Amino acid sequence: MKIFSNKSQLGSFGEFVYMEHSKSLGFKVERTNLCHTDYYLEDREKNKFYYVDVKSAVSDKSKYSGTRYHDDIIYESIIVLGERVFFVPDNLSPFYSSGRKDLGALSEWMVKWSLLCKTSVKRGRKIAEVDFYSLKAIFKNSNFPKIRLIERGDASGKRWSGTVDNLPGTDSIINKYDATLFIVYGCENFKEKVSKIYLISHSLLQAKCIKMIKSNSRQLKKGFTQHIDLQSFEKDYSEFVFDGLSTLSFYIKKSCL
């Protein structure tokens, strides 16, 4: 019987199990979702901290053998085998000396995880609140008074193929807003910073002036048929591509004069 409908569900489950197990051992665990990591793990007794990327699988593995994006990240594995859930610590993990561990029945973990899913909240914006409201104020008197914000982290830029699912978005979204700000983040010393910003005019979308590409197989299954060709957008509308918030703000303020 297939329990997880896709890799995203399996990944979410594995991250939850890892978080709960780490907390039960007295570690401080904080969600990161940046720079290829899922958690910040702190051993308060030894005054040590770790950045963790949790890998989940439904096939038996002795350790994680995939791509390592950073030497300072530990890659922990949560494995679902039959009716049991196992934890396989990374060589650099603070749990390494304990070895592979049976964490218990899958059915019990599924109940705990489903309760979390029911009470989960929408993930917050990456952009700082002060920057977000500053942008809204600047755009208010521009040609794009109603802006929509889409963000993409550094990890997704290196691991995913294609563009994000909601670019350009539904017709109702396109009609509701004047433009979309698509902000792409890079990573430096485990801190995310803006690396590129696309200002996508919805009037150009409505006039079908922006080149589209066919969605990939994953997106087609979700009902998305086409997406903005960002490479072509950079060539055709280079004046709408910025390297940071300051250059974007300067452009918008200048266009209002």
Q: Of 61 and 173, which is predicted with more confidence?
A: 173
For residue range 194-227, list pLDDT tens digits in order.
Answer: 889 999 999 999 999 999 988 777 777 777 778 9
Whether the pLDDT of residue 158 is over 60: the answer is no
Yes or no: say if 54 and 41 are a contact pair by the CB < 8 Å rule.
no
Q: Which of 5-9, 44-48, 66-70, 117-121 has the lowest mean pLDDT?
A: 117-121
Mean pLDDT throughout 31-46? 86
Is-above-0.75 flag for pTM? no
pLDDT above 90 covers a percentage of the chain that reads: 56
pLDDT score at 156: 47
Residues 19/39, Cβ–Cβ less than 8 Å:
yes
- What is the reported pLDDT for 120? 52
Q: What residue spans define the domains of the chain?
A: 7-119, 129-255
Tell me the pLDDT of the chain averaged across its residues. Answer: 87
Please write down the HEC assignment for all residues of the chain: CCCCCCHHHHHHHHHHHHHHHHHHCCCEEEEEEECCEEEEEEECCCCEEEEEEEEEECCCCCCCCCCCCCCCEEEEEEEEECCEEEEECCCCCCCHHHCCEEEEEHHHHHHHHHHHHHHCCCCCCCCCHHHHHHHHHHHHCCCCCCEEEEEECHHHHHHCCCCCCCCCCCHHHHHHCCEEEEEEEEEECCEEEEEEEEEEEHHHHHCCCCCEEECCHHHHHCCCCEEECHHHHHHHCHHHEECCHHHHHHHHHHHCC
Query: What token pair was written down for 177?
Result: 């807003």
Mean pLDDT of 88-102: 94
Q: What is the pLDDT of residue 75?
A: 94
| pLDDT exceeds cutoff 50 at 52 | yes
Q: Does CATH number 1.10.287 belong to domain 7-119?
A: no
Of residues 156 and 246, the one with the higher pLDDT is 246
Looking at residue 157, its pLDDT comes to 45
